[in-house]
Amino acid sequence: TRLSSQLSPGEIVQLLNDIFSAFDELADHYRLEKIKTVGDEYMVVGGVPMPRDDHAEAVAEMAIAMLVSLADVSQQYNLPLDMRIGMSSGPVVAGVIGKRKFAYDLWGDTVNTASRMETYSLANHIQVSHTTYMLLQKKYRFEARGEMNIKGKGQIPVFFLKGRLNGQGNSKS
């Protein structure tokens, strides 16, 4: 939004295309399913349509790689680019509804919680729900943010994903 006043619509589209194309490559690399982009939002899911035991790890790895990728694009364009990433884990319903402009989509409380994690996160951070933290705590480093009052959820514990326990991955604060 901030860049919309500095760049032409064509430049914004090119910038988003470069960012989302890089993210698409990451989604392919980590075998994740891109669901959609809405404006400057990018949604990806693990374990859909084919279930996989490492869905949370794969999404965490992509989230870490997305921060690195965005920093690369930021340097390439010489622009201060930021993003917030939110993650949650749990059941979802996936499919196509409606009669026109068919689009594969996801629904459920897990989707809403992931969206809230992004909304309430900080720039260049990966904020995760307690369910995702519980799945990943033995392989990744986290910073507890404490309980936050999250719209539609109430007071819930949230965490920043900081990187892998073996030291690889994002360590930005």
Which carries the bigger pLDDT value, residue 32 or residue 2?
A: 32
8 A C-beta contact, residue 161 and residue 142: yes
Tell me, what's the pLDDT at 172? 41
* % residues pLDDT > 70 (the chain): 95
For 79-102, the pLDDT digits (tens) are 999 999 999 999 999 999 999 988
For 109-166, the pLDDT digits (tens) are 999 999 999 999 999 999 999 999 999 999 999 999 999 999 999 999 999 999 999 8
The 3-state secondary structure of the chain reads: CHHHHCCCHHHHHHHHHHHHHHHHHHHHHCCCEEEEEECCEEEEECCCCCCCCCHHHHHHHHHHHHHHHHHHHHHHHCCCCCCEEEECCCCCEEECCCCCCCCCEEECHHHHHHHHHHHCCCCCEEEEEHHHHHHHCCCEEEEEEEEEEECCCEEEEEEEEEEECCCCCCCCC
State the pTM of this model: 0.90
Hey, what are 36's tokens? 């959609």
Which carries the bigger pLDDT value, residue 67 or residue 5?
A: 67
Q: Which residue has the tokens 């990187």?
A: 163
Q: Pick the catalytic residue from 116, 141, 162, 164.
A: 116
User: Please, which pLDDT band fits residue 1 given cuts at 50, 70 and 90?
Assistant: low
Tell me, what's the pLDDT at 130? 96
Q: Is 172 a catalytic residue?
A: no
Q: Pick the catalytic residue from 31, 52, 151, 172.
A: 151
Q: Is 151 a catalytic residue?
A: yes
